[in-house]
């Protein structure tokens, strides 16, 4: 078991959830994650976060100085990516093999991501045909931690009259996903930006040729890849 990452850095479910949260909060921004932000994300109290951060620092998976926030070490980053990889692969499994809809998978994947077995996840990956993106368009980290880039952008940031393919969602709440289902918008669909309304930043688009009017809130949560 010499080669197995998880052998030396065996984390509890809770620790893994914290690593994931730190990863997501730190993505983009270069500065450390604040205790309060982490407490918000984890739906727990700042004092609990402080306790946990100290344990994680002990284990060498985060950088931490009192009052200065927290960030992942190399190890921590690798572990976080490994959990995210499992989460997203299980989401694909639930949708592709068990006919879950994309708004139902998160809670179950949240549990499944903690199952410890390299062999299991490798074979699941194979069963699913080595997918690169999860049902919400989020990239699935490879075994080595590398992320496929999709060079996508938010629909709200697209230039007028440009065309693209719908490739992901920023918000993956059940409410938003159900809205998209109801309005026949799905990943892979062609989308063309016809008109932008100055006043409320809403947009008129063609989705697979069908015209539809979308609020700024919708347009700023939908990722599009230009073509």
Partner DNA sequence: ATATAAATTTAGACAAATCTAAAAATATGT
Partner DNA sequence: ACATATTTTTAGATTTGTCTAAATTTATAT
- Binding-site member from 9, 14, 73, 145 for DNA (CB under 7 A): 14
- Binding-site member from 103, 125, 134, 192 for Mn ion (CB under 5 A): 134
Return the number of the residue (12 or 146) whose C-beta is nearest a copy of itself.
Answer: 12
CA 118 to chain centre: 21
CB count in 10 Å sphere of residue 212: 15
CB of 166 to a copy of itself, least distance (A): 27
CB of 10 to DNA, least distance (A): 10
Please tell me the distance from the alpha carbon of residue 197 to that of residue 117, in angstroms, as a whole number. Answer: 51
Of 30-38, 102-110, 130-138, 167-175, the window that binds a copy of itself (rule: CB under 8 A) is 102-110
Q: Which of residues 79-98 bind a copy of itself (CB under 8 A)?
A: 94, 97-98
Structure letter (DSSP) for residue 132: S
Give SS3 for 204: strand
Q: Does 204 bind DNA (CB under 7 A)?
A: no
Give me the residues paired with residue 30 across strands: none
Q: Can you list the alpha helix ranges (DSSP code H) found in the chain?
A: 5-8, 13-26, 35-42, 46-58, 74-96, 106-112, 118-127, 174-182, 216-219
- Binding-site member from 5, 42, 57, 108 for a copy of itself (CB under 8 A): 108
Partner touching 136 among a copy of itself, DNA, Mn ion, none, CB below 5 to 8 Å by kind: Mn ion
Please tell me the distance from the alpha carbon of residue 211 to that of residue 201, in angstroms, as a whole number. Answer: 17
- Binding-site member from 20, 23, 35, 177 for DNA (CB under 7 A): 35
Site residues, DNA (CB under 7 A): 12-15, 34-37, 42, 44-55, 66-69
């Amino acid at each position: 078991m010499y080669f197995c990452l998880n052998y030396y850095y065996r984390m509890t479910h809770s620790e893994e959830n914290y690593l994931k949260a730190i990863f997501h909060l730190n993505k983009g921004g270069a500065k450390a994650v604040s205790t309060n932000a982490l407490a918000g994300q984890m739906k727990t109290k700042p004092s609990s976060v402080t306790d946990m951060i100290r344990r994680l620092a002990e284990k060498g998976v985060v950088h931490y100085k009192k009052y200065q926030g927290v960030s992942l070490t190399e190890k921590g980053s690798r572990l976080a990516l490994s959990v995210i990889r499992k989460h997203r692969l299980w989401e694909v499994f639930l949708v592709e093999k068990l006919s879950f809809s994309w708004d139902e998978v998160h809670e179950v994947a949240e549990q499944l991501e903690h199952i410890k077995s390299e062999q299991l996840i490798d074979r699941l990956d194979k069963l699913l045909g080595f997918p690169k993106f999860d049902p919400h368009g989020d990239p699935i980290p490879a075994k080595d931690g590398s992320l496929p880039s999709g060079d996508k952008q938010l629909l709200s940031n697209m230039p007028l009259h440009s065309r693209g393919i719908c490739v992901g969602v920023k918000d993956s709440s059940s409410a938003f996903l159900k809205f998209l289902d109801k309005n026949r918008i799905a990943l892979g669909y062609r989308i063309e930006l016809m008109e932008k309304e100055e006043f409320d930043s809403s947009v008129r688009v063609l989705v697979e040729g069908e015209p539809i009017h979308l609020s700024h809130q919708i347009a700023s949560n939908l990722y599009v890849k230009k073509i």
